[in-house]
Amino acid sequence: MTLTPTRTTAALLAALTVLSVVGGGFAVGGAAAVPDARITLTEVGVSPGAPTVDERATLNVTVSNSGGSDAAANLTTVRVRDADGDVLDSASGVGALSAGDSLDATLWTTFREPGEKRLTVEVVANQSTSGEFVTVSRDVVFEVRPTEVALDLRTRALDPEDLRSDDESESATGDLGIGGIQGVFGGGGGLDTGDGGQGEASPPAVDSPVEVTVVNTGTTAADRISLRAVGAAVDGDGAETVDVGPFVVEGVAPGEERRVIVDLGPLDRRSDVTVTAAFRADTDRRNDRGADRSAESTVTYPVREATPTVTDATVRETADGVVVDANLGNAGSGEMTGAVVSVGDAPGVAPTPAGGEYFVGTLGASDFVGFDVTTAANVTVAEEIPIRVTYTERGVRYTETFSVAAPEPATDDRDGGGTLGRLGAGGLGTVGTVASGLALVGLAGAVGVAVRTGRLGGPTGRRRDGSAP
């Protein structure tokens, strides 16, 4: 059989004499045949994948010479152009490629405006056989994010016992369930202050630990982070009680966090503590800006976890005075120690005389105990009887005042049992009193525990003068 070429066949053969490759193939401008060096742009990667404004973006370029190439090639230029055709960066004398080889090149650029960006990477190679130049190109599209500098500081008060395991030789940076802590700053010896000089020191001796979490919620890294804690007493005089730091924290990348422990040192007064993080953004470094940005968070230390409450109060007038018979309960999760109940001063009400307080002792979480206190009161004047509850938690002495209604004035038809004023009837869950004040009275002394009450009631305490209730 004899085949006669048609016009279509002839046109196809003519078209194959010029080849061009779009998006990473090989090309020869004006050439009449396939180039001997078949250069391709096999990969163009952008790092970071979504750079921010003014952040340097890296373009990692991989160039290959096909294994089917008939010639080696010298890569003379690798460059990147923007959408307007302007060259943003270029590298020359990149290297030589034999058939089947590949090599990497790196280009850099920055952007002044956010939004979608389309860049074109070009490679120019010189064929070893003919000396002709081959140019290939490939587009890359990615998003440029606006610059957001944001550091979030979170603080949480801890008990020193939170930093110990069942084996007291282990510290919080071990397996205590609050893992991820990357340092303990301040306080006693053996602490990691960020200089790496302590090595395998003894477990930290901390007095008042606060967990600080530094979270980078922005789009650029934060470095030169330093923490400082300053506190003032919450009892109204504003006296400074804490001033520790600065402590250096490792830099935090966008979306990451660092957790450290800051020890406030010995505290004998409840304090509002403000932790401040001074830092510098990654973009500030290139602009020669110092670490003058800041974030802050405030925590009250120590945290009160005990919650005293007075319930089921019965108030009656007797020949000896007005008697308040009620329950003292602990509705919180912490332990109250050295709890004492007394009557405070109010119009028509005489406070409990020295030595006449009702000593309760220790109340655990959800515990309660009955008490009664007697006071001299003019029921024609008094409207409320203040009940003062003083207790210790975590070494700090607190005083809270509750109010119960005074008995009604005597009438002609009252019986010998006196007039009653009763608040609440539902046990610990029914609070028939109104808290009217809270005060701190300094560091607790050593207070013995007279009675440990049960959750379902139990023996009552004794008065400070030793008499039975």
Domain contains 229: yes
Sheet strands (E) in 99-254: 102-109, 115-127, 133-144, 151-157, 181-185, 209-216, 222-233, 240-249
Tell me the DSSP string of 239-303. -EEEEEEEEEE--B-TT-EEEEEEE----SS-EEEEEEEEEEEHHHHHTT--S-EEEEEEEEESP
- State residue 52's pLDDT score: 83
Low-confidence residues in the chain, pLDDT < 70? 1-37, 164-180, 187-204, 236, 410-469
Statement to judge: residues 282 and 392 lie in one domain: no
- State residue 179's pLDDT score: 54
Domain contains 64: yes
Mean pLDDT of the chain: 75
Contact status, residue 104 vs residue 88, Cβ threshold 8 Å: no
Statement to judge: residues 321 and 249 lie in one domain: no
Statement to judge: residues 116 and 189 lie in one domain: no
- State residue 164's pLDDT score: 63
Domain boundary among 144, 159, 184: 144
Domain boundary among 109, 144, 179: 144
Statement to judge: residues 224 and 268 lie in one domain: yes
Tell me the DSSP string of 94-125. EEEE-TT-EEEEEEEE--SS-EEEEEEEEEEE
Strand, helix or coil at 450?
A: coil
Statement to judge: residues 166 and 201 lie in one domain: yes
Statement to judge: residues 347 and 280 lie in one domain: no
The CATH number covering residue 31 comes to 2.60.40.1470
Amino acid of residue 112: R
Domain contains 223: yes
Amino acid of residue 323: V
Q: Which of 220, 224, 211 is nearest to 251 (CA)?
A: 224
Amino acid of residue 11: A
Statement to judge: residues 115 and 219 lie in one domain: no
**How many domains are contained in the chain?**
3
Domain contains 163: yes
Statement to judge: residues 297 and 360 lie in one domain: no
pTM as predicted: 0.53
Statement to judge: residues 129 and 156 lie in one domain: no
The CATH number covering residue 354 comes to 2.60.40.10
pLDDT single digits (tens) 162-211? 776 544 444 444 433 345 677 888 864 334 444 444 444 455 578 889 99
Domain contains 7: no
Burial classification of residue 411, based on how many CB atoms lie within 10 Å of its CB (0-12 exposed, 13-18 middle, 19 or more buried): exposed
| DSSP secondary structure letter of residue 425 | -
Domain contains 32: yes
| DSSP secondary structure letter of residue 161 | G
Statement to judge: residues 249 and 331 lie in one domain: no
Statement to judge: residues 182 and 133 lie in one domain: no
Domain contains 5: no
Residue 451 belongs to what domain range?
A: 308-463
Domain boundary among 245, 269, 301: 301
Domain contains 267: yes
Statement to judge: residues 35 and 140 lie in one domain: yes
